[in-house]
Amino acid sequence: MTDQRVPRRKFMSQTSRAAAAAAVLGPGPLLKAFTQGSAADTVRIGVIGFGVQGLNDATAALRVPNVKVVAAASCYDGHLDRARELLGEGPLLTRDYRRILDDTSIDAVIVSTPDHWHSRICLDAIAAGKDVYCEKPLTHRLEEGDALVKAVRASKQIFQVGSQHTSSPSIIEAKQLIADGVLGQVTQVKASWDTNSDISAWVKPIPPNASEKTVDWARFQGLAPKRPFDPRRVFRWRTYREYGEGLAGDVLVHIITAVHFMLNLQAPTVGTAVGGRLRWKDDRNVYDTITGGWEYPEGVVTVLGATQNNNYDGTGIRIMGSKATMVMTFGTYTVYEENDESNWRYTTNVWPKALREEFWAGKGLQVNPDPLAAPPVRAPRKVLHQFEAPPAGDQRRRSPHMEHFVGCVRSRKQPVQDVSMGNDAAIAAHLANLAYFNKKTMRYDRASRKLLTPVETTAAHE
């Protein structure tokens, strides 16, 4: 396939258009749009859940000008020791997240705990008057979402969900191209998130000092079913349904959020899924392979798959329109023009000679083709637009999603990925899990915000 590169001048004009589009989208996820409020206004943040993602989020926050991370909470003392190494001796370090919420000098919190704690901590943070950045998925159970949405809307707090790709320059520009009609009518999305390693399969190393002395086991469990202490459940919590949402809530929710954002979709109304625990035969009770299908009343169908057993496809998204297809990762995209021509000769070759030759002539086709000749070669797809990832060291490789959140904290404007968008993406993930574990097609009603397909509550969540 010939790769017809977009000239630099055209590429730069597209990038400028994305910046203009950002102003229309709201507070603006592009770096240039983070001008709400004064950068001199110090924002003090506490991180609740200082595991792998908590450390990543704290580091991202520290990259934002005039932001201080002043507190960290974790059920494991080793995480607090790591927080001290990063933050120094001054910050509040605690097992009890409520101490952070009680500190009136803290403006906002990052919630990066296991999924089963998200809703409770977010509700408590909103009640305490804190702005909230909550990691995805927003909720652990479908029914938690509406209560959280209502609480945020009834408050004056800023609330952003941490699926960071809605702040990616490539995703923002892709959204604008789709709105401009470059793809035509979009009816289907296909995507994958495929990996093949111990770490991507959540088989993470367990700290040698993990014990009931260094881990607050009761606090970690929260409202989950009570079990004897097991360090695997603390440090490999994603492998258990009691605490996480499997591949649907860990990785597919990123794709779901980006697709919702680019196509202006709300929660799907039909969800189905197939999969299984096919390779990883440890004591996990979640699948390692899943393919889900969702229907949206907006006229879009999505088919998304994830596996922990093969990384050939990696992570990619195809947005399929009547005029063009957008093939993308979270940092790049290429738009290919449709070139599927109707094969008139194939369907009319069974007509009598006079009829078929008259029809072929009307279509500009050769009337007497060589019946043994090879079929014509289809022309390469034309590249209409392209976005390549910025080089290492480019300022666009900073932390735009965290910068967007901090900008909104200063301006008091709700982020692009607000509580409603986060809830709709979580609903899609929940529908896939419910469909898989119950072996049923799930139906969801947007008007009543209720699941229409009966499920066994115990089987669905434990």
Q: Which has more confidence, 280 or 36?
A: 280
Q: Which region among 2-16, 206-220, 360-374, 427-441 has the lowest average model confidence (pLDDT)? A: 2-16
**What length is written for the chain?**
462
Residue corresponding to tokens 């899609």: 428
Residue 26: predicted pLDDT:
38
C-alpha neighbours within 13 Å on the C-beta side of residue 248: 32
Residue 40: predicted pLDDT:
64
Q: Is the pLDDT of residue 35 over 50?
A: no
Q: Is the pLDDT of residue 28 over 70?
A: no
Residue 234: predicted pLDDT:
98
Integer angstrom CA distances of residue 18 from 12, 54, 264, 317, 443: 10, 30, 17, 20, 36
3-state secondary structure of 162: coil
What's the mean pLDDT when you consider all of the chain?
Answer: 90
Residue 349: predicted pLDDT:
92
Residue 38: predicted pLDDT:
56
Integer angstrom CA distances of residue 291 from 59, 190, 228, 230, 250: 33, 10, 33, 30, 14
Average pLDDT over residues 246-259: 98
**Is the Cβ–Cβ distance between 223 and 119 less than 8 Å?**
no
Q: Percentage of the chain surpassing pLDDT 90?
A: 81
Average pLDDT over residues 88-92: 95
Q: What's the pTM value of the predicted model, to 2 decimals?
A: 0.89
**Is the Cβ–Cβ distance between 167 and 400 less than 8 Å?**
yes
Q: Is the pLDDT of residue 24 over 70?
A: no
Average pLDDT over residues 91-108: 98
Residue 316: predicted pLDDT:
97
> Confidence class of residue 379 from pLDDT cuts 50, 70 and 90?
confident
